[in-house]
């Protein structure tokens, strides 16, 4: 559970920004987006495979460019 104590002389907007930042760092928004709709296990596996391919391609591209 994320808690934000409003400091003295702190505006509510600043406290809200801190709360949003903490939620982003904890990954709450990402899990909310994932759980909004049901995804089939097969489609989740294929998405994970595609993501791994993209990461590998990106790493190879960076490695190739770093050599020169």
Instruction: Provide the domain limits for residue 35.
Output: 12-67
Whole-prediction pTM: 0.56
Q: Is residue 5 part of a domain?
A: no
Q: Is residue 55 part of a domain?
A: yes
Q: Is residue 59 part of a domain?
A: yes
Render pLDDT for 49-68 as a digit per residue (tens, 0 to 9): 999 999 999 999 999 888 66
Residue 1's pLDDT is: 84
Residue 15 CA to residue 6 CA, distance in Å, equals: 6
Residue 68's pLDDT is: 61
Render pLDDT for 13-52 as a digit per residue (tens, 0 to 9): 999 999 999 999 999 999 999 899 999 999 999 999 999 9
Residue 37's pLDDT is: 93
Q: Is residue 43 part of a domain?
A: yes
Residue 62's pLDDT is: 92
In this structure, the chain runs to a length of: 68
How many domains does the chain fold into?
1
């Amino acid at each position: 559970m994320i808690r934000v104590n409003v400091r003295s002389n702190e505006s509510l907007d600043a406290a809200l920004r801190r709360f949003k930042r903490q939620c982003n760092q904890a990954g709450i928004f990402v899990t909310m987006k994932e759980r909004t709709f049901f995804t089939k296990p097969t489609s989740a596996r294929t998405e994970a495979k595609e993501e791994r391919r993209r990461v590998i391609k990106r790493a190879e591209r960076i490695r190739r460019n770093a050599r020169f």
